[in-house]
Every structure is written in structure tokens, then in C-alpha cells.
Amino acid sequence: MSQSLSAAKIEGMFTNEGRYIFARWNRPIAPVVFGTDDESLAVFKDAFATVASLGDMRLAETDPELGANFLVFICSDWSEIKQVPNLERLLANIDDLVTELDRSGANQYRSFAFDPEGAIKLCVLLLKYDDDMAQLSAQALATGQMAQAMLLWSPSAFLEKSPIGIIDANNMAIVRPEIAALIRSAYDPTLPDTAGETSHALRLEARVTQLLGHGT
């Protein structure tokens, strides 16, 4: 049975450096994936589209302003990131970033950019294909990463538990029901694209509870 999410739990999932900061996309997501083969690319695109649909979002071939607005770079060693042409235009201080990613042993990094109103307009995702990541299928990897790119989550939101689960019968990954419900709720058209007040978490809680059928 799926677990409901309390307002306090939701608040923590969007708290960064002591502040409640919520942001969602307000434009179609146009992904491009570098560093994988054509077969895996097709799996990635399908998984991205499935997760995006949770927020009634569709994938686009291009973004009118940026061309692609969800850029995924897959490497086997962080030093490869330094060789990507023009990436410094999107990520400042790449040398320092690579040094820190190596030092911390991280295998993923995402950076967001925002429009003037604060909605997400760009996500740059860096993935180091290490032994841990190799345990996941391309479909599971893409599903989990798209779930983490749909909203501006707290850095600690998924440290204890992945946003995805694996269906034993077919080994396919899905977004966990409570996280899927939270994404659906976050994209409710009656809610704002951005929020900085914790009362927003209460509004999300009510919608999640209703979607999961835990209300009275």
C-alpha cells in the first residue's frame, strides 16, 4: 500500500538551506541525451515521456528559447565533462565542480535555471555511470532521473529512499505512488509555478491524500 505524505514531509522535500522553495516547469520539456547509444536513447525518451505525463506535461522536440531545455550528459569519469563544448555557458566553474564531484564520490549532479517568474526553464543533468548506476536498467535510470528533474526538490529529498520502485513481475521501474501523486499534485493548474511559503505544502498534502485515497 502506498504511503501518504504529511505536510511536514512535503515541506522537507522542498526545503533548501532552511527555506521552502518550490518550482515546477511551465513549458514543455525538450530533452537531449549525450553519451548513450540509440537503443538506450529510445528507452530514455520513452521513460521521460511517461514521467512527464504525471504532470500533464508533454515532451517537445525543441524549446523555442533554448533548443533543448533538459540536457543529459552521461560519462564514465567526471573529467570527461570538461571536454563538452560550450558547457561552461550553462555550468559555471566546471573545473571546481568536477573536483568536488570527484571528492564527494557523487554519481549525479543536476543544475536548474529559471525564468523571470521563477519557474524551471532548464535542467542540466550530469551522470557518472559507475557500478551503482550499472545495477539499474536504462528504463529505471531514466525514470528515476526524470522524477528528480520534474520539480526543484530538496537535495536531501531522495537520499534515504529512491523516487522509483521496481515491479517484480516485469522488472520495470515506476515512480513510487506517493511521489507520483505529489508530482501530479504539484502540477495542479490551480497551484502556482513557484511558491516560497510553507502553506503551499498543506495544499499539496490535501491533493496527495485525495489522489491516494487516504482521506475520510
CATH of the domain at 19: 3.40.390
For the chain, what is the domain count? Answer: 1
In a domain, 44, yes or no: yes
Q: Is the dihedral of CA 60, 62, 67, 68 positive or negative?
A: positive
Report pTM.
0.94
132 domain residue, yes or no = yes
For residue 216, the model assigns a pLDDT of: 42
Domain annotation covers residue 1:
no
Asked if residue 164 is part of any domain, the answer here is yes
pLDDT in tens, 136-189: 999 999 999 999 999 999 999 999 999 999 998 998 999 999 999 999 999 999
Tell me if 2 is assigned to some domain: no
pLDDT of 26 > 80? The answer is: yes
Which residue reads 542540466 in cell numbers? 124
Q: Considering Cα of 143, then 147, then 148, then 150, what sign does the dihedral take?
A: positive
pLDDT (tens digit per residue) in 109-139: 999 999 999 999 999 999 999 999 999 999 9
Cell (9 digits) for 104: 564527494
Domain hosting 123: range is 7-212
Please answer whether residues 204 and 186 qualify as being in contact, where contact means their C-beta atoms are separated by less than 8 angstroms: yes
